[in-house]
């Protein structure tokens, strides 16, 4: 019975590993960093799971995930950079999983989508100031 269980686990793992990634599924490199490059791809594969499609967020049920849609806290690029780098509340820090370039991309994406129209761009220098990299 033990051998049969191990075989089933191995076959299940193989089958799971052989499926191609589904759109919106985060892919991670060997260095444990996310591979997505564009702000849209990063949002769709990493952020959308909590902040929901369209940045609507969730305020009822099992958790609270703030809406990014029409969010005045995103007016200055420093705030979303800080939150991504350091985490806040239930959101973990992404400092060790995203490059500075990826942080710039996703911050600029959420600040110009979902009813947000903040034109001041986040820069690599803004991120480097907060990450000390």
Cα end-to-end distance, the chain, whole Å: 52
Domains and CATH numbers, the chain: 28-131 (1.10.760.10)
Query: Higher pLDDT residue, 13 or 71?
Result: 71
pLDDT tens for residues 20-58?
Answer: 444 456 665 565 778 999 999 999 999 999 999 999 999
pTM more than 0.85: no
Q: With both helix axes pointing from N to C terminus, report the angle between 100-111 and 124-131 in degrees, rounded to the nearest 10.
A: 120
**With contact defined as beta carbons under 8 Å apart, do 114 and 106 qualify?**
no
**CA-based radius of gyration for the chain:** 18
């Amino acid at each position: 019975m033990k051998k049969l269980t191990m075989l089933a686990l191995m076959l299940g793992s193989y089958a799971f590993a052989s499926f191609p990634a589904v759109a919106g599924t985060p892919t991670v490199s060997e260095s444990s960093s996310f591979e997505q490059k564009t702000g849209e791809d990063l949002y769709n594969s990493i952020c959308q799971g909590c902040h929901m499609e369209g940045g609507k967020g969730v305020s009822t049920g099992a958790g609270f995930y703030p809406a990014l849609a029409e969010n005045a806290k995103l007016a200055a690029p420093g705030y979303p950079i800080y939150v991504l780098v350091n985490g806040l509340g239930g959101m973990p820090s992404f400092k060790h999983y995203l490059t500075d370039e990826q942080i710039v991309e996703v911050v600029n994406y959420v600040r110009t989508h979902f009813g947000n129209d903040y034109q001041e761009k986040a820069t690599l220098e803004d991120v480097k100031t907060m990450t000390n990299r």
